[in-house]
Amino acid sequence: MQVRQKEARILRRAITAWADGGLVDEDLAGRLSGSIEEIAFDWKRLAAIAFLVAVLCLAVSVISLFADDYLMELIQRLISVSALGKVVFFAVLAALFYGFGARRMKARPHLRFSNEAILFLGVLSTAVAVYLLGDMVSSDDPNVSYLVLLSFLIYAAVGYGLGSNLIWLFALLSLGGWLGAETGYASGWGAYYLGMNYPLRFVLFGGLLTLAAVSVPAVGRFKELHKATLVMGLLYLFVSLWLMSIFGNYGDMDSWGGVHQMELFHWSILFALASGAAIFAGLRRDDGILRGFGLTFLLINLYTRYFELFWDATHKVVFFALMAASFWLLGRKAESIWTLGGRVKRERG
């Protein structure tokens, strides 16, 4: 059995624990350990990175093409295509990529990275088609939120239909973009909408998305998309809360610059309460995503407050020495919990 080096160590530890506990005899334990063959190079990770770099380079290439006026003018001269024709071309191209990706997912589901790369080409073609559509119908004061909403509807339909987490993630990103564009347009691109700056709007949006993810039963097609929805909801929520704990509900740097940081402390408390709620819910539901987000952003909150309160008032030698000590203690605690968990598992075995 060929496995990666890390997996081989885990398997060998498990076999040793079984042998020590009398679950398997020494002969069987030896044969099991001997059947493990370590992979010298992680080709799976290389494949994922290679496909990611390939599609990112392609995306940069397309963006550079549209940004180069000379190349665009040259293409216009060589290929006389109407604005509508360009939109139709990229829309058809996106449909072909989605169709090919869907067929390949059924025929070769084990080739996950290349399948997702093909679907990403569909995502990219859709974005280009929507951009060209907006350029075709643009006015002096365009409301781009309709175009972003169109992107969301396309991505949501295709992502849900194919059960693709990748396309579903772009749908949720587009939904957030639509919220920002729509509220920005409605407020005349001012700092506030209904008295809320941008981070506060996304706190509400992230909270609603997270609530939907934990409330809607993970059944049917949504079972495949539940994890992506929860992750995006928590990202929107906690990143926005982190920004609120720093800047508060202020819309410009001049107003924020005249405020003492302690006047924004209630946002830090709310940030901590949200992190604690995520940890508690994660423990009750045995959900590693909720626990992980809660713990991670609780630490981010604490260290952000540490920087705010002590950066100017403390000598940098003492400042970083205290940080080093805190991370050392955190590492010691995490190591002891990890060791205890392994010992408990061995005793149960």
| 51, 162: one domain | yes
Identify whether residues 26 and 51 lie together within a single domain.
Answer: no
Mean pLDDT for the chain?
79
Three-state DSSP class for 79?
coil
- Residue 348 included in any domain: no
Domain membership of residue 28 (yes or no) is yes
The pLDDT of residue 59 is: 65
- Residue with more model confidence, 52 or 121: 121
Q: In whole angstroms, give the CA distance from residue 278 to residue 284.
A: 10
Report the range of poorest mean pLDDT among 151-165, 208-222, 230-244. 208-222
Q: What is the mean pLDDT of residues 113-132?
A: 85
| Alpha carbons within 13 A on the beta-carbon side of 72 | 12
pLDDT exceeds 50 at position 55: yes
Same domain, 176 and 49: yes
Give percent of the chain with pLDDT exceeding 70: 78
Residues 48 and 185 in one domain: yes
75 and 107 within one domain: yes
**Segment 130-150, tens digit of pLDDT:** 888 887 776 555 567 888 899
Among 190, 212, 234, give the residue marking a domain's end.
190
The percentage of the chain sitting over the pLDDT mark of 90, rounded to a whole number, equals: 20
Whether the CB-CB separation of 239 and 173 falls below 8 Å is answered with no
pLDDT recorded at residue 207 = 93
- Domain ends where: 190, 210, 234? 190
Q: Which residues of 238-266 are buried (b: 16+ CB within 10 A; e: fewer)?
A: bbbbbbbbbbbbbbeeeebeeeeeeebee
- For residue 344, the model assigns a pLDDT of 43
Each residue of 298-333: pLDDT tens digit?
989 988 888 887 777 787 788 788 888 887 887 777
Residue 252: pLDDT band with limits 50, 70, 90: confident
Longest Cα separation, the chain: 80
* pLDDT for res 270: 92
Averaged pLDDT for residues 334-341: 61
pLDDT range class, residue 185, cuts 50, 70, 90? confident
CA torsion through residues 75, 78, 81, 86, sign: negative
Q: Are residues 69 and 128 in the same domain?
A: yes
| Mean pLDDT in residue range 228-246 | 92
In terms of domains, do 149 and 268 share one? no
Non-local CB neighbours of 36 within 8 Å, separated by 6+ positions:
1, 3, 8, 11, 12
Considering the domain architecture, whether residues 135 and 149 belong to the same structural domain is answered as yes
- Say yes or no to pLDDT of 235 above 90: yes
Cα–Cα distance measured from residue 124 to residue 130, given in angstroms and rounded to the nearest whole number: 10
The more confident residue out of 243 and 335 is 243
pTM above 0.85, yes or no: no
Local confidence band at 87 (pLDDT 50, 70, 90 cut-offs): confident
Residues 220 and 306 in one domain: yes
Task: Report helix angle 288-310 to 316-348, nearest 10.
Answer: 160
On whether residue 341 sits in a domain, the answer given is no
Contact between residue 124 and residue 62 where contact means Cβ atoms under 8 Å apart: yes
- Of 80-89, 256-265, 320-329, the range with the highest mean pLDDT is 320-329
Helix (H, G, I), strand (E, B) or coil at 196: strand
Residue 22 in any domain: the answer is yes
Contact (CB, 8 A) for 293 and 234: yes
**245: closest CA among 212, 205, 190, 200?**
200
Separation CA 145–CA 143 (nearest Å): 5
Q: Which helix (H) or strand (E) holds 290?
A: helix 288-310
Position 47 in a domain? yes
The first and second tokens of residue 120, run together, are: 């990403």
Q: Which residues contact residue 158 at a Cβ distance below 8 angstroms, ignoring those fewer than 6 apart?
A: 98, 122, 164, 167
Q: Are residues 53 and 160 in the same domain?
A: yes
Together in a domain, 34 and 81:
no
Single out the residue of 186, 82, 196 nearest to residue 141, CA to CA: 186
Tell whether the model's pLDDT for residue 346 goes beyond 70.
no
Q: Which domain holds residue 221?
A: 201-313
**For residue 213, how many other CB atoms are within 10 A of its CB?**
22
Whether residues 141 and 99 share a domain: the answer is: yes
Is pLDDT above 70 for 290? yes
143 or 94, which is more confident: 94
**Which of 157, 190, 223 lies at the terminal end of a domain, its last residue?**
190
Query: What's the total number of domains in the chain?
Result: 3
Residue type, 240: S
- Is residue 345 in some structural domain? no
What amino acid occupies position 253? M
Q: Is 88 inside any structural domain?
A: yes
Task: State the Cα–Cα distance between residues 203 and 199, nearest whole angstrom.
Answer: 6
Residue predicted with more confidence, 272 or 141: 272
Residue 324 belongs to a domain: no
